Every structure is written in structure tokens, then in C-alpha cells.
Amino acid sequence: MKLKHLITSLALGFAAISASATPLDALTGNLNIKLTGLTTESNRSAGSNESTWGVGNITSISGTGGQQWYAGASDGSYLYYMIYGIADQNIVFDSTTGKFSIYNIGATGGAGDGQIHLDIYRSNVNLLELTSNYNASPSQRTGFDSFSLFAGMEKYLEVVFGTGKQLVDVEGGTNPNADERLATLTQTATSATLPAAGEGQFFGDVVGGTAAAQWNTNGQFGHDLDGKFTLSTNGANFGSGTCSPAEVANNTCFTGLINDPIRANKVPEPGSLALLGLGFAGLAGLRRRKAAK
């Protein structure tokens, strides 16, 4: 087989593989991240004004050019997260729609540092409590920023929420003096407390983690992540969760289910860039040798 045909065959083969399964480290460019999760208002951080927190997993990441990463299937890795430090800044009821506009900021007091956090962990372990059974327990929280299921896992990304989604200073509500333009998480829900149905949105900024350099691109309106999610009830009568109606009512279970996409932009890891450079160098050498003949 001629070298040109061999290179073409290899390129087509690699293209087919990358279109069906892209390793996490190989993802680049504009990406769409799908997630599921569990939220609760129980077992909050002692001494702080935290109102809500949760845990969950990232199910898939897709991008341009056929990139597709699936948890566990593409490269054997899984991504999990803990979201915490959510405090209510103001809650405004709309009598016209019958819904609540909820404006959140970072929790203070106790272990709270005034920021909403999203910590993402990477592992080769499939945690069924988060990927299919949805029966993790709030009692598994071991600290303001820790959950027992994630002990010993690589902290892949550390994210904090930034301002920018809320552009208007709203009147009234539980805190009429609040400036909602400072809110870093905005929600619209059927209830001011869980269980509830609704939606939320946020901007996220990468501040740490082993993959921080790849994801800290400010490619989403000056932020690193542009998140939107839906909220529903985690109960046997309401969704795919395992909470009973009684557990939902008394918050002894994770009572909220969240899902939906987050947009981000990712650059190649340094190792991938080095390999790409070696590949180009090799091709250049091949051309020189061919020209010298």
C-alpha cells in the first residue's frame, strides 16, 4: 500500500473513532455538557446561611466535528460534581404566573466564603447512587466542600459562580433592599423551597483543579461556563428518583432533581499540543526526505 493511501486510511479510521468516542482530555473547542443531579435543603453547612446544595454527575459532553464523550464509555472515566454555598438573596412571588423568582448569592458565616461553588471530580468508578439509582443521601456530606462518595477522587475543576445573568434590580420580595444584579444564580420555580419545579441559570468561572488550564478560556460571555438547568422533584411518584413522598416532604432525602446543559470552551491539554507538534514535525521531515529524492 502506498504511503499516501496508508495515511488516508489511518486518518479516516481515527476520524471514525473520534466521532463515536472522544476521550475527555481530547475534547476541544465549543462544548455542550449534559448533567443530572440531586439537590436538598437538609444537612446544610452549620453556622452559614446556605439554603441549598447538591451532588450529581455529568452524563455526556458533545462538541463540533463529531466530538462525543460519554461517562464511562468513551475512556473509562466519570465526572461527578458537588454544588454548594447557595444562599437566598431575595425571593419575589409573581401573582400573575404563580411562580417565585429566586435570586441566590454565595453563603457566608460558618464555612461559607460568600461564593457559590461547583467542584467537579474525575474518577474511574461508576457511582450508581448518582448515575442511575439517584439515591445518595444528604447525610453523606462530610463538610462544607466534601461528600463521602468523592473522597480520594481527583478534583478535576473548581468553579465559582459569577455575576452577569441578572441585569435588573428587582423591587420587593423577602429582601426589598437587595441588589439582584449581584446575584450569581437566578431561578424561577413553582415554590420558594424544595420540592419544586422550575429552571435556573448561572455563569461559572474556573479557579482551580487539575484541568483548570484547559477550561479557563473565558469563552462564554467573559466566563468559562454558561449554565442552564431544569428543576423537578426527586420522588417515586414524580421522577426517576427513589425518595418516597414522605421523604420528599421532610427533606430526609435529596428532594430535587436537576438536569440540562452547560456550555463551555476547552483548549487542548499541553500533552496533546506537544503530540500535535511532533506530528507536524514528522510530516515536515517526510516531505523533506521525499523532496530530496
For residue range 78-136, what is the model confidence (pLDDT) as tens digits?
Answer: 999 999 999 999 999 999 999 999 999 999 999 999 999 999 999 999 999 999 888 89
Model-level pTM greater than 0.75? yes
User: DSSP code of 210?
Assistant: T
pLDDT at position 15:
42
Phi/psi at 126 (nearest 5 deg)? -90, 110
pLDDT > 70 fraction of the chain, expressed in percent and rounded: 83
Read off the pLDDT band of 242 (50, 70, 90). Answer: confident
- CA torsion, points 78, 195, 168, 119, in degrees to nearest 10? -20
pLDDT digit string (tens) for 194-227? 989 999 999 999 999 999 999 999 999 999 999 9
Percent of the chain's residues with pLDDT above 90: 74
Q: What residue type is assigned to position 192 of the chain?
A: A
C-alpha–C-alpha distance, residues 242 and 250, integer Å: 14
Neighbours of 274 (CB within 10 A): 11
Contacts of 73 by beta carbon, 8 Å cutoff, 6+ apart: 21
φ, ψ for residue 51, nearest 5 deg? -110, -30
